[in-house]
Amino acid sequence: MNMNSDDHYIRAITSSGGIRVLVCSVAILAREIIRLQGASATVSVALGRGIAAGSLMGALLKPGQRIALKYEGNGPMQKMIIEADSDGAVRGTVANALAEAVPVNGRWNVPAVLGRAGFLTVSRDLGIGGEPYLGTVQLVSSEIGEDLAYYLAESEQIPSAVGVSAGLAEDVSLAACGGFLVQALPKADESEVTALLDRIDSLPSITLLLERGGTELLLSSIMGDIPYNRLESRPLIFRCGCSREKVERVLYTLGETGLQELRERDGFAEVTCEFCKVIYRLDAEELNRLAIFSQDSIPQ
């Protein structure tokens, strides 16, 4: 596999065992999600950053676990949700893909489309049944990466640095996209952490490093002369977990009356998946069948 062109992450740890570093490149899957969502230029940048952030969080999951990042703000984009599985599958959606804002000082104005005020909610499905574990923080800069770093420090008590970046070409298509996640583990050496954070502050832009030398260059630039071990590298892909069965389960909650009303009024139901935009159509017969099952399930 060509590590410089395919979407993937690399997980590494300093030889001292004190600092965990993850880097990722997600341009291919981000392009697919941006296309499916029909995103404006600034929303494309927001999505690219969010997809990088979600992919990095997904890289820390145990098998069978899932994570969702939900950014909600008072800007015109309203909401962005990124979901990642432990096997490297990522999907994303925004409430209003056409939101746009004027760039400021040559930078895409992500805070203007997301909104300065709002919340980041991280939902963890531990894959053992039961309700997902939720943590919420206020948005601190609405630049996506900083908000995730703040969440990790505040809600999960893990001092973290997050850098996520999406660069657009002149035709506003996505050129490079990815990022890093650096976490100080409990036995981290203070001076090593300081040295690493200083290096990160003086790094060239993430997209520039990715364009020049992929995740390898991003990782070696972050680490500098700090010795480290590569632990794992895995592909990242776009995949939506929606299905007809899941759509039926949602419709089922309308109950017998609701389903029969839908059948009599429209004669069918259409449900569009907000992530992959696949349209599920259920005809009158299928609605009737769901309604009958719904009736059977009413407790006597």
Residue number, 150 or 275, with CB nearest to Zn ion: 275
Residues in contact with Zn ion by CB under 5 A are 240, 242, 273, 275-276
Closest distance of CB 93 from Zn ion, Å: 9
Cα–Cα separations (whole angstroms), residue 260 to 72, 242, 271:
35, 24, 16
CA dist., res. 94 & res. 38, Å (int): 10
Residue 107: strand pairing partners: 104
Q: How far is the CB of 91 from Zn ion (least distance, A)?
A: 7
The maximal CA–CA distance of the chain, rounded, in angstroms, is: 70
3-state DSSP call for residue 228? Answer: strand
Nearest to 45 by CA among 6, 83, 95, 80: 80
Measured from the CB atom, is 21 or 33 closer to Zn ion? Answer: 33
What gap in Å lies between CA 256 and CA 244, rounded to an integer?
A: 19
Look up residue 169 and give its two tokens: 């070409």
DSSP secondary structure string, 44-109?
HHHHHHHHHHHHHHHTTPPTT-EEEEEEEESSTT-EEEEEEETTSEEEEEES-TT-----BTTB--
Smallest gap from residue 246 Cβ to Zn ion (A): 9
Nearer to Zn ion (CB atom), residue 243 or residue 257: 243
Q: Report the nearest approach of Zn ion to the CB of residue 18 (Å).
A: 40
156 vs 270, beta carbon nearer Zn ion? 270
Q: How far is the CB of 51 from Zn ion (least distance, A)?
A: 15
Closest CA to 114 of 155, 156, 146, 160: 146
Pick 54 or 75: Cβ nearer Zn ion: 54
Pick between residue 225 and residue 245 the one whose CB is nearest to Zn ion: 245
Measured from the CB of residue 94, what is the shortest distance to Zn ion in angstroms? 14
